[in-house]
Structure 1
Amino acid sequence: MDHPAAAVAGRAPAARLEPDAISAAQDTVIGMASSAPTATVGLSLAALAAATAYGSGPVLLLTAIPMLIIANAYRRCNLWNANCGASFEWVGRAISPYLGFLTGWLMIAAYIIGTVAEVLLLGPSVLAVLGSASTSRWAYVGIGCAVGLVMLAVAVVGIRITARVQVSMALVEYLILVGLAIAGVVFVAGHHPGTVPFSRGWLSVNGIGGKGSAVAGFLTAVFVYGGWDGTLYVNEEVRRRRVNPGRAAVIAVALLAVIYTLSQVGFQGVLSPAKLASAAQNGTALVTVAHALGGGLAAKLMALSIALSVIATTGTGIVLGARIVYGMASERVLPVFLARVSPRWSTPAVSSVVVGMLIIVLSAVYFLLTSVQNAFNDVIAVTGLLFSVFYILTALAAMTYYRRRITSSARDFLAVGLLPLGAAGFLGWILVKSLLSAPPTQRWSVLGVVASGVILMLCARLILRSPFFGVARESENRVSPRR
């Protein structure tokens, strides 16, 4: 940890994560894997095409702009305080420790729930690669548990092996996804029967004939990008820990913008709207598109890409979720045993096991107890909103910490003040629109996540008596007492 206060009486022991263990390039891959490109395209392809009337390309590119601005806010915060607690620390020390705790809780909830949502795709994808049409719940559970345990073991053994595994899977996943997306562009441009031909409407946020909804498209696009912030949660283990993780976040967003836009534009016109919607309803949108492009072999390759995407995000979900938990436990806002670091592997082994087992158990419960599926689906549906909330809070934390720069020059007014405020406002608008259009069960799910965070915060304050709630408010070149 960066803060000298870490050594004061009553604080958890200082962390001993392995410094300088991974490169900026490996960190970038971890952030991209957390977003799960292929799996995410599979989930959003039909919805985004329908919402925008095939104007999804411009929508994705425009959504990348506020995401890049938010990523730059993360970069600035990391220059100030390179701590794996990230937004928990930044919001807590710049604005309020109570708001910081809630930010940390939303981060944990988003990563665990989001990872479970991706794991649910793993069983069908693996079986498709093997040529099986089985829909056995026990097969899905077995595959999910096996992969979860393997990725948990990798997470515990060390960040170096985690990074190497992530890079290896990413190379195969992205090669397949991008290759087939380019094939899709060529296929649609060739005016094959049943395709939706390119037109000027594809270049408009309102789509073909102005029939699309830019608002609905932006709602989906914000969900698509979520997860790039994973580069910051391993910052204590990255070379040049104050500089590289923030740069990796910005690069990850830029690369994801290219991959998502190319994939959406390349795949959305391969099938007719009716066939694409039908395939999406069966959870086979990308595999069906790939089959139309290259038959059974292409379909199996796409299923492999989806499986690798889910396996990768399972691994990053455990690694990143564990480090957020570890960062919070190091401040005693969570039980201190969660801050223990393995002396052999230099990883937060206890928090890794807790997060990993939660993901495995929740995935199994979902498949085996149909009575909880509807309730859990509502929670999964609002995961993107949780990401939006802590993205907004992080942008505000960066503005608050660097507030003296806002009036120092026109450049800083734009970079530190106006742009982050605009990006936070855009995400806030998306958040409000999403909540207003969401069914009551999903609104209750959001309220439940926040309420559980408030209860845990009170426990941390009154039972664990964490000194974090008394930290001084910080700003650039100044530390002021908390009032």
Structure 2
Amino acid sequence: MEQGAAPTEDHEDLKAKGLSRDAVGLLGGTVIGISTVAPAYSLTATLGPTVSEAGLRMPGIFLAGFVPMLLVAFAYRELNKELPDCGTSFAWSVKAFGPVIGWMCGWGLLMASIVVLSNLAGVATEFLYLFLGEVTGSPDVTELNDNKAIHILTTLAFIATATWISYRGITLTEWLQSVLVGLQLVVLALFIGMAISTSGEAEGSLNFSWSWFDPFGVESFTAFTAGVTLSIFIYWGWDTCLTINEESTGSERTPGRAALLSIVVIVCTYLLVAAAAQMYAGIGTTGIGLGNPETADNVFAALAHPVMGSGPGVLLFVAVLTSAAASLQTTFIPVARTALAMSAYKALPTTFAAVHPRFKTPARATVAAAVVTGSFYTLMTLVSEDVLLDTVFSLGLMISFYYGITAFACVWYFRRRLRRSPGNLLLKGLLPGLGGLMLTGVFLRTLRDTWEPSYGSGSSVAGIGSVFVIGVGLLLLGAMVMLLIRRHNPEFFRGEVLHRSTPPLIMED
């Protein structure tokens, strides 16, 4: 397929969407992938909850969560070589399994992105006021975050700013992200070095042990799956590299390489930070211990000053703030481009297929994503004080859902080629299939566990855990929306727009 994802004779139903061509290279794609994952934000939000589930094996759980992500990354790479379409999981699962499964896969990606966007905006707001409080030396400024009206308005301002940047084009996004990703990786490296070098000075500090990296030492299978669900969340976002395939140089290969490179950088960062934090703070349930429930949703806020001091410690606040803000902006990429593709193939109202004539971005889809994100966050903040933690846990369901479908789509789509060579069998079959099975196991076990109100924050709706209600409720909402669209716009669901197909055997890899 030519650069810019122009359709070929074998895939003539794929459509070029009018996005910018050859705008992002390997480095830019890798930076965008890392930015969407938001390592500083993801770590501060999940170090505590993961310790509460896995204890000393927290680094091992991060490693366990990396395995299915790596396996699924091979599926994304192989499918992108064949079908470089910005609809990614949606388009590929339609090709493999047909319109219904494909539509639900796309919906899972959209909802995961919306939930992440809302959380990112909320964390950016929290760390903005933490930073301003540190700079001004005024606790009153920090406490502004506790005022719901101010918190919501500030969060909506972050969403509006990120929307404006995304609206203006992928080139501006790439330049901005290079600066912000570099900043947070440098600060995290500084944190790692200082935490390790001063670990013996803190109360509750621990000596390093390789046993921490063994995930099978977790006390129960429920705790293991809960930890893996959290770790899946903290890796989510690397596939953004693939949603900009139509805007990348070498659209068939560059995005896949960027995805693999970004996920390797991320796992190395996570393991180093996890080990360093555990060495310094331990896993106690009081003070700076990582198991302290009062600091579980924002570990870096508790560790910044003890580890780095009052001066450099502010940099950790800045790193999380820029991490959340940067990821907020890049997370608009997958949701807007997936909506663009679904609209272009008439799986959503065609109004979202509009591309800005000057900026070459999915303008209407980007604005629509912002409106839905702002509304969702406002509603959930007013309804539940525990919205951040429960939506993080519910994300594991949605991410496992659509990543798992994508992995199986790779196996099924290439099924006729698997016996052509050992490489095909491994990269197009065994590795993606194993990743899909692992994610299916996590999805099913999490469904069972989240039914209980004790899962996540402990809140419930009619006796059912709120994590289950959020995750499953959003997927069921998608099924209802699909039926409504199918009734009013049936061409896509009859297979008349994007066809289910199998690649011919004569094609060479």
Q: CA deviation at 1:218?
A: 2.4
Higher mean alpha-carbon deviation, 175-184 vs 100-109, is at 175-184
The aligned counterpart of 1:43 is 45
- Looking at structure 1, the residues matched to 53 and 77 of structure 2 have their Cα atoms a distance apart, in angstroms, of 32
- Looking at structure 2, the residues matched to 116 and 183 of structure 1 have their Cα atoms a distance apart, in angstroms, of 32
Label 1:429 to 1:321 Cα distance change in 2 as closer, same or farther (>3 A).
Answer: same
Q: Which residue identity is paired with 1:448?
A: G
Q: CA deviation at 1:94?
A: 1.4
- Looking at structure 1, the residues matched to 379 and 243 of structure 2 have their Cα atoms a distance apart, in angstroms, of 28
Q: 1:144 aligns with which of 150, 155, 163?
A: 155
Structure 1 runs of 4+ aligned residues shifted over 6 Å read 4-8, 208-212
Q: 1:333 aligns with which of 316, 337, 347?
A: 347
Q: What does residue range 250-261 of structure 1 map to in structure 2 within 5 Å? A: 250-261=260-271
Higher mean alpha-carbon deviation, 137-146 vs 205-214, is at 205-214
Query: Would you say 1:181 and 2:192 are equivalent positions?
Result: yes
Give secondary structure in 2 for the equivalent of 1:121: helix
The aligned counterpart of 1:163 is 174
* TM-score, normalised relative to structure 2: 0.86
Whether contact under 8 Å (1:200, 1:208) holds in the other structure is no
Deviation string 1:85-143 (CA, Å, 9 cap, x unpaired) is 11101000111111000100111000011111222112220111112321222332232
- Looking at structure 1, the residues matched to 360 and 332 of structure 2 have their Cα atoms a distance apart, in angstroms, of 15
Which runs of 5 or more structure 1 residues have no equivalent in the other structure?
none
Q: Which residue identity is paired with 1:84?
A: C
The aligned counterpart of 1:133 is 142
Give secondary structure in 1 for the equivalent of 2:215: coil
The aligned counterpart of 2:208 is 198
Deviation string 1:429-457 (CA, Å, 9 cap, x unpaired) is 11122121113333333332222212222
Whether contact under 8 Å (2:49, 2:296) holds in the other structure is no
The aligned counterpart of 2:306 is 292
Q: CA deviation at 1:281?
A: 3.7
* TM-score, normalised relative to structure 1: 0.91
Percent identical: 24
The aligned counterpart of 2:26 is 24
Give secondary structure in 1 for the equivalent of 2:411: helix
Q: What does residue range 435-454 of structure 1 map to in structure 2 within 5 Å? A: 435-438=447-450, 439=452, 440-441=464-465, 442-454=467-479
Higher mean alpha-carbon deviation, 424-433 vs 88-97, is at 424-433
Give secondary structure in 1 for the equivalent of 2:258: helix
Q: 2:229 aligns with which of 214, 219, 226?
A: 219
Q: CA deviation at 1:59?
A: 2.9
Q: 2:410 aligns with which of 380, 398, 402?
A: 398
Whether contact under 8 Å (2:54, 2:219) holds in the other structure is no
Give secondary structure in 1 for the equivalent of 2:501: strand
Whether contact under 8 Å (1:199, 1:208) holds in the other structure is no
Give secondary structure in 1 for the equivalent of 2:348: coil
Higher mean alpha-carbon deviation, 116-125 vs 140-149, is at 140-149
Deviation string 1:168-193 (CA, Å, 9 cap, x unpaired) is 111111111122022212222x4544
Query: Would you say 1:236 and 2:246 are equivalent positions?
Result: yes
Q: Which residue identity is paired with 2:504?
A: N
The aligned counterpart of 2:98 is 96
The aligned counterpart of 1:474 is 501
Q: CA deviation at 1:201?
A: 3.4
Whether contact under 8 Å (2:46, 2:296) holds in the other structure is no
Give secondary structure in 2 for the equivalent of 1:90: helix
Higher mean alpha-carbon deviation, 72-81 vs 310-319, is at 310-319
- Kindly tell me the number of residue pairs found equivalent between the two proteins: 474
Alpha carbon RMSD of aligned pairs, Å?
A: 2.7
- Looking at structure 2, the residues matched to 307 and 162 of structure 1 have their Cα atoms a distance apart, in angstroms, of 17
Label 1:468 to 1:241 Cα distance change in 2 as closer, same or farther (>3 A).
Answer: farther
Give secondary structure in 1 for the equivalent of 2:153: helix
Deviation string 1:182-228 (CA, Å, 9 cap, x unpaired) is 2212222x454431222353243255999995444323322221121
Whether contact under 8 Å (1:53, 1:212) holds in the other structure is no
Q: CA deviation at 1:377?
A: 6.1
Whether contact under 8 Å (1:396, 1:424) holds in the other structure is yes
Q: What does residue range 358-377 of structure 1 map to in structure 2 within 5 Å? A: 358-367=372-381, 369=382, 371=383, 373=385
